[in-house]
Chain A
Amino acid sequence: MFSLMANCCSWLKRWQEPVRKVTLIMVGLDNAGKTATVRGIQGESPEDVAPTVGFSKIDLKQGRFEVTIFDLGGGKRIRNIWRNYYAESYGVIFVVDSSDIARMEETKQAMIEVLNSPKISGKPVLVLANKQDREGALSEADVIESLSLEKLVNEHKCLCQIEPCSAIMGCGKKIDKSIKKGLYWLLHIIAKDFDALNERIQRDTTEQKAYEEQKKLERAERVRRIREERGSRTSDLLLPFKALYHQQPTMLPIRD
């Protein structure tokens, strides 16, 4: 009876907890399996995925968490955009192609760059050692060694968990359990120290937004000036054609 009451109490306590909005970023080299992982989590087929050269996101509910995962392109020519998402992320999911031994050094460099950022240091990192279904894939221990993971996460005070997995194994309820386990771990760590983490993220994002807003205004002003200059130029040169310019658009059929 007593335990039943205790159960009820803890349930009530959990029920009273506010919904927490958490943003995670999923990064890693191109072809590591980020989009496949995200699609698996979402319950979609993780096969036949085109390379992401940009940004997509998924939303999911996990207990009292509303989780948003940003899936960011990993190719060499797009990787530089990652830094724009650091401020708002509560944690990092780093996906590694464990079977691509030739690119381990590049993976390591990419990871160093992420953890080196002051906006990321101290935040929890989940490493998914993906493609374990492939022959010759490095084991958990070997991935740790080739990335010097231990040293790296200690240096930057990031709590870290590594999960060997296979993103293409299934989706939705049939998703590789290691991916789920990893995600639980990450959310658990975030929950443990939520208030401090949340405060840091609010501060960093406010700062970044103010900066972006400022840039946006400056840019709008520059573009306005360019347009104005060009407008006055064309009005002199193309005076005889001006009537034409104004007529032509009216010929466009308007959809209703």
Chain B
Amino acid sequence: MISLEVRILLLGLDNAGKTTLLKQLASEDISHITPTQGFNIKSVQSQGFKLNVWDIGGQRKIRPYWRNYFENTDILIYVIDSADRKRFEETGQELAELLDEEKLSGVPVLIFANKQDLLTAAPASEIAEGLNLHTIRDRVWQIQSCSALSGEGVQVRLWRRLAVPAGHL
């Protein structure tokens, strides 16, 4: 079977849960995770797919370095804290700036709506409007509810399936 390599870029604000998500994907221990200063990368194989996932630190000061990783991105996964409504505008603004980047033009976006285990988590339509996703017309976008903590919604099988509408396979 031919192995299809997919380059996935994992971005989002600090404390969104990017690294926890990445570790869950690789079935690693998630009990001692500290804010990412640089980046983490994991490669996961699944049914003829090789997913190379890059997780870049999300703190404000290091966000300008995100652009060093844009090249050849197949899918952008943007992680948000679904319960932190106060930051929807900020995270939406950050995402809007990403989508304006030439190197990411047309790249499909998956919004990982993390922390859905919290009772106060916002539903998909509120996230879509909060992040201004409904004004996007030039690419596919999709919201995936998940909980990086419990591992729900982050299975490899699912990532593969989500890559399909994004134009792979």
- Give A contacts to B, CB under 8 Å: 35, 48-50, 52-57, 73, 75, 77-81, 84-85, 212, 216, 219-220, 222-223, 226-227, 230-231, 245-246, 248-249, 251-252, 254-255
8 A-B pairs besides A223-B89, A230-B60 with CB distance below 8 A are A53-B143, A54-B128, A56-B140, A80-B125, A219-B92, A226-B90, A252-B68, A255-B69
Q: Is A52 within 8 A of B60, CB to CB?
A: no
Q: Is B125 within 8 A of A222, CB to CB?
A: no
Partner of A216, one of B38, B61, B132, B158: B132
In whole angstroms, what is the CA distance A77 to B134 when docked?
14
Contact status of A50 and B124, CB under 8 A, knowing A222-B89, A223-B89: no
Q: Is A255 within 8 A of B134, CB to CB?
A: no
Chain A residue nearest in CB terms to B123:
A77
Interface: B144 (CB within 8 A): yes
Nearest first, the 8 closest Cβ-Cβ pairs linking A and B are A80-B125, A54-B142, A77-B123, A84-B134, A78-B124, A56-B140, A223-B93, A77-B124
Chain A residue nearest in CB terms to B94:
A223
By secondary structure, the B interface counts as: helix
Give chain B interface residues in 74-106, CB to chain A under 8 Å. Answer: 89-90, 92-93, 96
Q: Is A219 within 8 A of B60, CB to CB?
A: no
Q: Which residues of A contact B93 (CB under 8 A)?
A: 219-220, 223
Q: Which residues of B contact A85 (CB under 8 A)?
A: 134
Q: Which residues of A contact B132 (CB under 8 A)?
A: 216, 219
- Give B contacts to A, CB under 8 Å: 37-39, 60-62, 64-65, 68-69, 71, 89-90, 92-93, 96, 111, 123-126, 128-129, 132-137, 140-145, 158, 161-162, 164-165
Q: Is A54 within 8 A of B61, CB to CB?
A: no
Q: Which residues of A contact B38 (CB under 8 A)?
A: 248-249, 251-252
Q: Is A245 within 8 A of B68, CB to CB?
A: no
Q: List 12 A-B contacts (CB under 8 A).
A: A49-B165, A50-B165, A53-B124, A53-B143, A54-B140, A56-B141, A57-B137, A79-B125, A85-B134, A227-B90, A230-B60, A231-B60
A134 to chain B minimum Cβ distance, whole angstroms, is: 23
Contact status of A223 and B134, CB under 8 A, knowing A55-B141, A81-B125: no
Q: Which residues of A contact B64 (CB under 8 A)?
A: 249
Q: Is B134 within 8 A of A248, CB to CB?
A: no
In whole angstroms, what is the CA distance A77 to B162 when docked?
18
B108 to chain A minimum Cβ distance, whole angstroms, is: 8
Chain A residue nearest in CB terms to B63:
A249
Chain B residue nearest in CB terms to A23:
B137
Q: Is B133 within 8 A of A80, CB to CB?
A: no
Q: Is A50 within 8 A of B161, CB to CB?
A: yes
Chain A residue nearest in CB terms to B145:
A53
In whole angstroms, what is the CA distance A254 to B38 when docked?
11
In whole angstroms, what is the CA distance A71 to B93 when docked?
25
In whole angstroms, what is the CA distance A75 to B124 when docked?
9
In whole angstroms, what is the CA distance A231 to B59 when docked?
12
A232 to chain B minimum Cβ distance, whole angstroms, is: 13
Q: Is A54 within 8 A of B133, CB to CB?
A: yes
In whole angstroms, what is the CA distance A219 to B97 when docked?
13
Partner of A248, one of B62, B92, B126, B141: B62
Q: Is A227 within 8 A of B125, CB to CB?
A: no
In whole angstroms, what is the CA distance A223 to B136 when docked?
20
A210 to chain B minimum Cβ distance, whole angstroms, is: 13
